[in-house]
Structure 1
């Protein structure tokens, strides 16, 4: 629809996307494009209390590769928490998840904290997570459980700690189109002790990565200091560096298990997002990493999403996103994506993400050790056994 509006109005598609991300209303975006063109689209502004799609990152092969891709950068911890966007206008505070769901009533400690920041109005992007007594991150599922609970005993047991890494508005000034260098300066003025650990133009990026891993976090983010905030887009301005590869993929189907898994839906069919808007593209299967608890949940939940079934599997509407850890990918003719996942295993389901947040087939291809050749099918001539 956005591309169609841009073509009909004769305006850049990026201008339409940006206006839609800021307005949240497709009809209003279309009217502006058709009646006033690029100038009218540029009139849309960030509005306090109305969330914008978060800027997303792409995976990098290594820290050295990420640093080589940009000039001046900021390097920050990448935490295994839940993405949040907070809006404050005077004493009014709203907290949103990465899918733009409002969770303000469930996170009273975050509301009080944001209300006490030294400003009158602000929009901050960040992560929040529950910590253990020794300051290490609790499992992601425990953090996410807080977004659906207002029970006082759970709030006391799982207090959330925010770590902010971007500032989109501060005291009347919108900063979306300002370079990260300026947004970071604004962030440091307002976030105080709630600033995410990291450095601007660090002297020793490897030490930052080591420190993040030692503290129990996932890795680091490498961000170009001259980049603007591209709401809702996954580009190369932000690069995530982890010691192992992970992909957020869409669950397409599950096969019935055998042996001790008989009676459970087990082996997952996994798809990557088509950047052109088509259905997810299958890139592999895995049953590794599934706990008894997850097997039980899948067997109860998946039939509710079924589009069809056969004797061996249940095929699903593409709604669930699962985080997959893998050793890499290789070219393969087994799956429509032209690749297969190597030693893939389930880390967790991502209820905080929808299918628009899943990794694209391009991101999967980027993990290939070399550009795919039409004559190369990998060391085994097909899928690695561990990918099943």
Structure 2
């Protein structure tokens, strides 16, 4: 069998192509493997660099947070109270302002005024601390725990009312031996953080367990507390003794804070805790109501109805004398001025008669005497 020259050339060329492919294949594979290896190495290096950068960033953030916390711990003083001005007060106001139910005005001024004091009292009452209105050691400890929740030095909106924050703080307050850094007992300390401890201590003690009070009983106690608070509010509106009113309003704030907490506990299914808080709120309101009524009664006992009537009669006589003097006056300017005084005295006399009708004899006497004095002075000026 013979092949043409063209066929032979074709066959030889094909063999050369195959031989060249075989010869260059390892080199090509080596180059491909080298490229792949280089690509993988480069990618891994980039990933490692990114992770290192992220680690450095996180480390810096942790250090910054530690520094911020150290600054707060170092600067936040014990014993902050009404009348003081300090940057610490401003920090506390910023925190309190995150919950309008605690600090309705939300003013951040650095001045510890009456509104800040009331906010601290609400904060203390909510957390079952002694309601002093001052930043004592226990109050400071709780405030510092909340400050730990700051983000980049800023206090998140709604921090004090954030769901689950109590539990989170409780876990931080537990020491290595399982005890609370803030004392848990039946009378003081951050009891809202110690519910589990109380539950464990009271387990099997009958009426002291959480399950021993039904939701109906707890709700009934809350309703009674609401009624007592409403009665106290009404009595405050009718009271006249300013000092007694101020004391009653403080008690009202305490009772309302406890009632709010009782409603939260009931909603969470903690019937016993809700019941206890509601009963305590009711007692605070009732005691304040009795005290306020007693002070008002004492105030009214200082003046009798007869004395009030006599003072009003004296004022009427003085006003009548002034009216007569005005009729006989010749100077128009003096007459005009006297008429203005007459109108003022008559208004006071009318107020005195209203106070007499309300059996507030002390106030009736005071207004009647003012009316009498104005009328007499105006008459003397007109005569001269």
> Shorter-chain TM-score: which interval?
under 0.3
- TM (normalized to structure 1)? 0.20
* TM-score computed with the length of structure 2 as normaliser: 0.20
Return the structure number with greater strand share: 1
Highest RCO, 1 vs 2 (Cα 8 Å, sep ≥ 6): 1
Q: Which has the larger radius of gyration?
A: 2
- Higher helix residue share: 2
